[in-house]
Structure 1
Amino acid sequence: MTVHTPPANGAELARAVARDGVEFLLVMFVNLRGKTCAKLAPAHTLDRLLGEGLGFAGNAAYGLGQSSADPDVVAIPDPTSYVRVPIQENLGILQCDLYVRGEPWPYAPRGILRRQLAQLAEQRLELKAGAEPEYFLVRRTEDGGIRVADELDDTAGPCYDAHAASRSLDHLTTISRAVDAMGWENYSNDHEDANGQFEHNFGYAEALRTADRVVVLRHLVRLAAHRAGLIATFMPKPFGDLTGSGLHLHLSLWQDGRNVFRAPDDPRGLGLSPRAYGFIAGVLDHAPGLMALTCPTVNSYKRLGAGAATLSGSSWAPGYASYGGNNRTHLVRVPDSDRIEVRCVDSAANPYLALAGLAAAGADGMARGADPGGPVEADLEATGTGTRRLRPLPPTLLHAAEALAEDDVLRDGLGKTPDGFYADYYADQKRAEFDTYHRQVSEWELRTYLQV
């Protein structure tokens, strides 16, 4: 299998499209919720795409700060984002940056991450990221509900189950081959902690590229599942009694080709530098507001701290703003001396906004020389905070949205729009989402209160 270097410009992109026999291109971007929006363009229009872009009604795409009276947002493809879709003949995907009247549109999530990374670049710093996307394979039931796709996948401890993984081999190998064909270096595909839950692992890259890859992977996973008569869902907690799905992000910071998080002489024994500890402190300090970006749905908060309610006995999701070594009960885990793992990100997160928020929070911690204190060694699922006072994470989306709106660092990091700060716009969208949810009357309420 030949893996090609991503095209660096329009001329290289044209050659790559011709080489791959691509006939159509999905001209793609994501909205505030991370939903993939696209138009299908014939490959022979590539010159026009790169010069003029494609127009979209921003209000119809949702979450782009527009009304029906506003001019089009114009999607301009980024040649470096090009991939041929391995599971669909003749199709390629291009991620786009959005413009209105020739100017970058500040409501575009990809542009928000670009701007935050550009601020790091002013200090000759580059954020690199690896991602661990988790999801469920499910089927619809006759009553309109869902169940795990594999009826035999019903044990209480299915994580890494070889038989369960083998029964889904067609799906897993389809995605594995696709990831390798796109040059992302797939190194692992596994059955996760919940019945019907899976994860694919691939090489880390510059943060913008990793966000692009998460978007494409979600698209391919859904497409492959649909063709098999299944549904792939990235809903964080589709089953009340099963572990939820995360999008754990591994982060490292580089300068002039050197990983500046690494320090073999670390007196705390984790192999991290003062910069790394400053970055961790920034993430922990801004955790309440970050949660609106990393856990962006009402359903997200049913995943956090849910260890006692899962069949496996663990949630694998943090409940406090804490960090530790190779300990998966913390918001920040240090699995090795070359990176940190942020575990408060779930499968519904918009990867561009989550990474932009983490970059802003980490940069603030470094700039202040902040110190997170010593690592917490306790198993927080088993013992709680113990003798150490740790800040609990927001219990609902509404709490997180309010914290985001009050966080000046995250407000600056997400940038300004023609109408104010993007953080305020985002928080308003999430308040409305919570309010819509809160107005629903659930079956639980009827069972509990109907005859009280």
Structure 2
Amino acid sequence: MTAQLPAAPRNAEELARAIARDGVEFLLVMFVNLHGRPCAKLAPVRTLDQLLSEGLGFAGNCAGGLGQSSGDPDLVAIPDVTSYVKVPLQPGLGIVQCDLYVEGEPWPYAPRWILRNQLAKLAEQGRQLKVGAEPEYFLVKRAADGSVTVADELDTAPSPGYDAGAATRNFDHLATVSRTLEELGWENYSNDHEDANGQFEHNFGYADALRTADRVIIFRHLAKMAAQQRGLIATFMPKPFAHLTGSGLHLHVSLWEGQTSLFDDPSDARGLNTSALGYSFIGGLLEHAPGLLALTCPTVNSYKRLNAGANTLSQSSWAPGYATYGGNNRTHLVRIPDTGRIEVRAVDSAANPYLAIAGIAAAGADGIARGVDPGDPLTGDLEAAGAAAGLRPLPTTLLHAVEELLGDGALREGLGKVAGGEYADYYASVKREEFGEFHREVTGWEIDRYLI
């Protein structure tokens, strides 16, 4: 039987006791920017009272992606006491996630606030969004010449998914991560080698949407720490190798009213045990999928995973190419794997979890509000037969997805307003510049193809 772990702190006094119990000397006072990059200062725990009452100041322009210039007032990070975790991989260290304020007001460019606001709209209806996450990543190493290769030199099979040999060769790393998740009380229930060489996934229990977003950020940080301790790199780049399957962040989503799952209906005529409300949520996701991808697949590199098709060593991408749904079928954007929940598969390993979940919540809520019917589920291998079925492909580049986002009223409203406009416009401007930087780069492929 698993030992009962202490509950998360609910107030300042409980946080202080938890810090003392865990022997924590320093706190990483953390928040994330638009790109999902964790930013932090290291604060001695003796400053806890001041930290909770006054917060900790940051130069927002230095952190990037937070809508600030060098002339703007400080961002003030106020810890959410319920987010506290110790860091088992670094004795004496704890982490608290923070909400950002400027001059005493919530800062609307902060991704955590964007998700908070979307969840508050659901709460007004008596509803709660719960989310489980399946983070994938690669273990790699960098050679002296700067090239990057899969860390395990023996991991060369064309279809290495669930390979027992690769799992045992990487036992130290996988076990370290698993023990860490268990010590945090996240209910780690499996750790496996995924479809690509050098690719791994760790699964842990679902929670309310904000808590899961926090955990995804912390998980990435911990996985990178565990890899660094072995002289390796854990990368959450969606597709680091052209010939291999990319990494996803599949999100399992359910909507609740008290202890009742609103997606569950055993009498479902379509045979998927899903309620009419659940189908409308799915309908909203499918309708808004083109713009939603700008949030769930947020990098230039993301679209090399989405559009890989069968052009990988394993002959599969495990990523959707069309806005479709079905039962226990991993070629859809939305899979219904079990009663009471759906799996959104159009999310990749680089996604900012706060923005991705906020977008999913906004799209699904719009579907419910308008009673959208997604139609009957599709069957068969859409990765192989999608084009023949006449389905509309999802955006093929980040720029295409951003343009779809700008024209999507429900997603614009879900992301909220900022000074002088809407967050969607700010987000789009950042992502357009990212795409522009990529497009201006001259690659080796171009040199090989066009030089002579």
Tell whether the structures are fold-level matches, with TM greater than 0.5: yes
- Number of the residue aligned with 1:80: 82
Asked if 1:267 corresponds to 2:269, the answer is: yes
CA distance in 1, matches of 2:303, 2:435: 11
**Superposed displacement of residue 253, structure 1:** 0.2
**Superposed displacement of residue 390, structure 1:** 2.5
- Number of the residue aligned with 1:357: 359
Query: Deviation per CA, 1:98-119, whole angstroms, max 9, x where unpaired?
Result: 0000000000000100000000
Query: Deviation per CA, 1:246-267, whole angstroms, max 9, x where unpaired?
Result: 0000000000210010000000
**Superposed displacement of residue 2, structure 1:** 4.7
**Superposed displacement of residue 58, structure 1:** 0.2
CA distance in 2, matches of 1:258, 1:407: 31
For 2:41, the aligned partner's letter is: K
**1:385 to 1:266, Cα distance in 2 relative to 1, 3 A:** farther
- Number of the residue aligned with 1:210: 212
CA distance in 1, matches of 2:182, 2:426: 38
8 Å Cα contact 1:250/1:339 also seen in 2: yes
- Number of the residue aligned with 1:381: 383
- Number of the residue aligned with 1:299: 301
CA distance in 1, matches of 2:127, 2:47: 37
8 Å Cα contact 1:56/1:75 also seen in 2: yes
Query: Deviation per CA, 1:36-86, whole angstroms, max 9, x where unpaired?
Result: 000000011111111001000000000000000000000000000000111
> Share of identical aligned residues, percent?
70
How many pairs were matched up? 450
- Number of the residue aligned with 2:28: 26
Residue from 4, 12, 15 that aligns with 1:13:
15
Query: Deviation per CA, 1:408-437, whole angstroms, max 9, x where unpaired?
Result: 100100000012100010011000000000
- Number of the residue aligned with 1:317: 319
- Number of the residue aligned with 1:156: 158
Residue from 120, 124, 127 that aligns with 2:126:
124
**Superposed displacement of residue 87, structure 1:** 1.0
**Superposed displacement of residue 386, structure 1:** 3.8
- Number of the residue aligned with 1:427: 428
Partner of 2:307, secondary structure, is coil
Query: Deviation per CA, 1:308-336, whole angstroms, max 9, x where unpaired?
Result: 22100100000000101100001000001
For 2:307, the aligned partner's letter is: G
Q: Which runs of 4+ in 1 moved over 3 A?
A: none
8 Å Cα contact 1:73/1:98 also seen in 2: yes
- Number of the residue aligned with 1:42: 44
8 Å Cα contact 1:378/1:386 also seen in 2: no
CA distance in 1, matches of 2:222, 2:124: 35
- Number of the residue aligned with 1:390: 391
- Number of the residue aligned with 1:342: 344
CA distance in 2, matches of 1:164, 1:273: 41
8 Å Cα contact 2:307/2:396 also seen in 1: no
8 Å Cα contact 2:359/2:411 also seen in 1: yes
CA distance in 1, matches of 2:117, 2:23: 34
- Number of the residue aligned with 1:230: 232
For 1:178, the aligned partner's letter is: T
**Superposed displacement of residue 19, structure 1:** 1.1
- The unaligned stretches of length 5 or more in structure 1 are none
8 Å Cα contact 1:305/1:381 also seen in 2: no
**Superposed displacement of residue 385, structure 1:** 4.3
- The unaligned stretches of length 5 or more in structure 2 are none
CA distance in 2, matches of 1:256, 1:192: 35
**Superposed displacement of residue 382, structure 1:** 1.6
CA distance in 1, matches of 2:177, 2:277: 36
CA distance in 2, matches of 1:16, 1:226: 27
CA distance in 1, matches of 2:275, 2:230: 47
For 2:59, the aligned partner's letter is: A
8 Å Cα contact 1:279/1:363 also seen in 2: yes
